[in-house]
Amino acid sequence: MIGVILWLVFAVCVGVLAANKGRSGIGFFLISLILSPLIGLIITLVVSPVTEKVEAAAIESGTQKKCPKCAELVKNEAVICKHCQAELA
């Protein structure tokens, strides 16, 4: 019984990690549930994050904003862009 609970917990962790990378959390949860949480974790670590989704989530959460000159993400508190040294409003 403990093994089944641990299997589910690790599969959920893989799903959360995949969702943080902009991937389908439910899809990776199901892969981990069916195959193995270890295999799901390896696949999650190997795939690259979806930058558009990660950037959109950072902007929506209010922690970052895009620089108007170079379009790179910077912290909301930043006065000067760390990438292009442009003044931020």
Please say whether the beta carbons of 72 and 66 come within 8 A. Answer: yes
Nearest 5°: phi and psi at 63? -90, -25
Task: Give the up-direction half-sphere exposure of residue 48: CA atoms within 13 A in the CB hemisphere.
Answer: 3
pLDDT at residue number 52: 87
Answer yes or no: is pLDDT of 89 > 80. no
pLDDT at residue number 51: 85
pLDDT at residue number 23: 93
Please say whether the beta carbons of 58 and 64 come within 8 A. Answer: yes
Beta bridge partners of 75: 64
**Which pTM does this prediction carry?**
0.71
At 9, the amino acid letter reads: V
What is the C-alpha radius of gyration for the chain, rounded to an integer number of angstroms? 18
pLDDT in tens, 29-86: 999 999 999 999 999 999 998 888 888 888 888 889 999 899 889 998 889 998 899 8
